[in-house]
Amino acid sequence: MKKQFAVLGLGRFGGSLVEEFANLDVDVLAIDRNQEVVNKFSNSATYVVQANAIDEASLKGLGIRNVDHALISFGDDIEASVLATMLLKDMGVKQVWVKAVNMYHQKVLEKIGADKVIHPERDIAKRIAHHVVSEKIIDYIELSKDYSIVEIVASKKLHNKTLFDLNIRAKYGCNIIGFQRKDGEMVISPTAHEIIEQGDMLIVIGHNRDLNRFEEEGV
């Protein structure tokens, strides 16, 4: 049985989520209190409705308790996102992810049971900053406060060497979990005998300090 998703609030972030769900052929219930916005996404969501997302009766009437995963995105309306989070958790929605405006907002959401708090602007800013500061890092994904995944371009220094030769885990404490060849071929969970070529895109996971050291000394 396919999972059921709901998106509450169809601003830039929420609307983008709905469109991407549609691209992935995922069933999604989209809710917004603005009828014009609802009309805009009428062809994207499986079911799009104009409703007050902080009204318990309205949510129950829409069968929101039956969704597996709800995502709340109310822009700067902190009170509405907090109330909606409380309602959805009280109704038994398994996963409730909420877009936060700031760290104070995040702390409140975590205290009332949000399963994940999202900071899209902050996360995008971090990825751009890492890309701009380093000529080697192409992308950056924060996993936690201390651990991340980065995409790093292999330099001439690594050319024609196997992962066994490089011994990156022992030298730097991080792991190459995959890489993409210049011709687009993806190598996932590479063996120790895979050969790295200059220009390959390395996907590396590890502690931030180890990743920084690898980027500065190893690539």
Task: Work out the percent of the chain whose per-residue pLDDT is above 90.
Answer: 62
Indicate whether 169 pLDDT > 80.
Answer: yes
Residue 131: the pLDDT is 65
Mean pLDDT of all residues belonging to the chain: 89
Domains in the chain with CATH codes: 5-118 (3.40.50.720), 123-218 (3.30.70.1450)
Indicate whether 160 pLDDT > 70.
Answer: yes
Indicate whether 122 pLDDT > 80.
Answer: no
Task: Work out the percent of the chain whose per-residue pLDDT is above 70.
Answer: 97
Indicate whether 3 pLDDT > 90.
Answer: no
* Contacts of residue 210, Cβ cutoff 8 Å, sequence gap at least 6: 172, 173, 174
Residue 132: the pLDDT is 67
Sheet with 147-153, strands from edge to edge, namely 137-142, 147-153, 201-207, 175-180, 186-188
Indicate whether 1 pLDDT > 80.
Answer: no
Q: 127 burial class (0-12, 13-18, 19+ CB within 10 angstroms)?
A: middle
Residue 109: the pLDDT is 94
Q: Can you tell me the mean pLDDT for 62-75? A: 91
Q: What is the pTM of this model?
A: 0.69
